[in-house]
Amino acid sequence: MIKILFGIILAFFIASQVFCQDRPKNGAFIEIGGSSILYSLNFERSFTKGINGRIGVSFFDNTFSSPVLIGKVFGKSNHHFELDGGFLYANSRFTDSQFISQRRNTFFVTGFVGYRYQRPDGKFFFRSGGTFLWFVWGEDSKDRSWNFMPWPSIGCGYLF
């Protein structure tokens, strides 16, 4: 049963690549600033009618982070408005006050609002705008507070 299901899914993907060659569905891009603060390497998939999903990775200063967002690209010419929302997972290693190395997992709410240059028949794209992180900060439940941090973003990539 699993082999049949796998065969059907594989045939669907092959057929969609053969018969749906109107525009690229996948993209890869680097983002400076943005949802992972410093930089991220991202994979983007276009689902339908301007709806995109993306996942990225970043390593910096003992911290691994991965933004996961879904969004919409508005516009039909070269110039587009892009709006994304999702979360950022971060795993960081730090040394506490007693010099014990620890790891902390943190989730942030994140988003992107900005400009995207992409020709309808082109493979290169450029994006620039602002992102935000919305997170809870504090060591114990009494001093935790919600924080909002806006952040600039610029990126470029290639569709395939």
At residue 5, the 3 state secondary structure works out as helix
pLDDT of 23 higher than 60: yes
Backbone torsions φ then ψ of 2, nearest 5 degrees: -65, -35
C-alpha to C-alpha distance for 107 and 121, rounded to whole angstroms = 37
Lowest mean pLDDT among 8-12, 65-69, 86-90: 8-12
* Predicted confidence (pLDDT) per residue in 74-83, tens digit: 998 999 999 9
- What was the pLDDT predicted at 16? 52
* Predicted confidence (pLDDT) per residue in 97-123, tens digit: 788 888 888 889 999 999 999 998 889
CATH topology for 2-159 is: Porin (2.40.160)
C-alpha to C-alpha distance for 15 and 13, rounded to whole angstroms = 5
The full set of domain ranges for the chain reads 2-159
pLDDT top residue among 118 and 18: 118
Q: Which of 101, 125, 153 is nearest to 29 (CA)?
A: 125
Q: Which tokens belong to 53? A: 């999903």
| Mean pLDDT across the chain | 85
pLDDT of 58 higher than 70: yes
